[in-house]
């Protein structure tokens, strides 16, 4: 791991001022702070810039420039932070099964498992509007957020599935095999597919999400949804000017380049 990680700048970015001991409360606090300040977003992919996973580039984009990113960026940066604090973790790859079965889904999602005296936990800061804001115990059915079950792990031998609730519906998010050994090149390959392949949804759609004190603020193309507890407020974004205001108001950054961005899923804006 490079030695250029700037912990103080990262913690200032996420607004975390607590303990830095490698404990479960610290892990929980860092995770929710990270997801509340660093948005999930794919705008660099749509701008054709590609996505770099080296630590210097991640710090420049997600910390210094106060931008967001997708799973490979979030998980790589958070893994470096946690390792420097002394946490025992593994980088993991998964197949997202929200829209297609595992047999048709590449290993193009990255998450972490963190081992502590209390057990092993799934930490997934980059799953957009579907991700748990708390470390999920790597035990069948053992996940809750403020006492209300939202995400949990279903386990079949070494194969695990992240499941979550949306209303009364139970949804499978991703599947992963804990026996599969993952190396940096595996994440580079998944990142390249996600950012460059014409069949990747990240090259077609605007996707953004951030955790708020009472829920989430999520965007899919022109459809913006503010989740405030059990209240859901939908809104359709009219034009690029309104989109840029939305970036500032809800995601904490502006992006002038958006005015010339080509979005395949919104042909009337192209």
Active site residue 109: yes
Active site residue 71: yes
Every domain range in the chain assigned CATH 3.30.2140.10: 201-269
Q: What is the 3-state secondary structure (H, E, C) of the chain?
A: CCCCCCHHHHHHHHCCCCCCCCCHHHHHHHHHHHHHHCCEECHHHHCCCCCCCCHHHHHHHHHHCCCCECHHHHHHHHHHHHHHHCCEEEEEEEEECCCCCHHHCCCCEEEEEEEECCEEEEECCCCHHHCCCCCEECCECCCCECCECCEEEEEECCEEEEEEEECCEEEEEEEEECCCCCCHHHHHHHHHHHHHCCCCHHHCCCEEEEEECCEEEEEECCEEEEEECCEEEEEECCCHHHHHHHHHHHHCCCCHHHHHCCCCCCHHHC
Every domain range in the chain assigned CATH 3.30.2140.20: 7-196
Answer whether 26's CB lies under 8 Å from 91's CB.
no
* Annotated catalytic residue, options 71, 74, 151, 250: 71
Active site residue 156: no
pLDDT in tens, the chain (270 residues): 445 899 999 999 999 999 999 999 999 999 999 999 999 999 999 999 989 999 999 999 999 999 999 999 999 999 999 999 999 999 999 999 998 999 999 999 999 999 999 999 999 999 999 999 999 999 876 665 554 578 999 988 889 999 998 878 899 999 999 988 899 999 999 999 999 999 899 999 999 999 999 899 999 999 999 988 778 899 999 999 999 999 999 999 999 998 888 888 888 887
The CATH number of domain 201-269 is 3.30.2140.10? yes
* Annotated catalytic residue, options 34, 44, 74, 124: 124
7-196 to CATH, choices 3.40.630.40, 3.20.20.70, 3.30.2140.20, 3.40.50.300: 3.30.2140.20
pTM check: above 0.85 = yes
* Annotated catalytic residue, options 74, 109, 151, 250: 109
């Amino acid at each position: 791991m490079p030695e250029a990680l700037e912990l103080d700048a990262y913690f200032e970015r996420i607004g975390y001022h607590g303990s830095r001991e490698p404990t479960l409360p610290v892990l929980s606090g860092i995770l929710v702070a990270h997801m509340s300040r660093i948005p999930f977003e794919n705008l660099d992919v749509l701008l054709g810039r590609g996505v770099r996973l080296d630590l210097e580039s991640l710090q420049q984009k997600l910390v210094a420039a106060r931008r967001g990113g997708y799973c490979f960026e979030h998980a790589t940066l958070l893994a470096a932070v946690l390792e420097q604090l002394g946490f025992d973790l593994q980088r993991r790859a998964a197949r997202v099964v929200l829209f297609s079965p595992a047999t048709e889904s590449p290993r193009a999602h990255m998450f972490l498992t963190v081992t502590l005296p209390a057990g092993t936990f799934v930490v997934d800061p980059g799953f957009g509007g579907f991700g748990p804001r708390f470390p999920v115990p790597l035990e069948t059915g053992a996940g809750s957020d403020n006492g209300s079950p939202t995400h949990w792990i279903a386990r079949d031998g070494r194969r695990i599935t992240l499941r979550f609730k949306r209303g009364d519906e139970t949804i499978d998010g991703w599947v992963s095999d804990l026996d599969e050994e993952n190396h940096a090149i595996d994440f580079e390959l998944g990142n390249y597919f996600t950012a460059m392949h014409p069949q990747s949804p990240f090259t077609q759609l605007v996707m953004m999400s951030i955790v708020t004190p009472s829920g989430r603020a999520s965007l899919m193309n022109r459809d913006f949804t503010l989740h405030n507890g059990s209240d859901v407020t939908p809104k359709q974004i009219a034009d690029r000017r309104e989109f840029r205001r939305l970036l500032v108001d809800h995601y904490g950054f502006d992006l002038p380049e958006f005015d010339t961005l080509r979005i395949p899923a919104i042909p009337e804006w192209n």
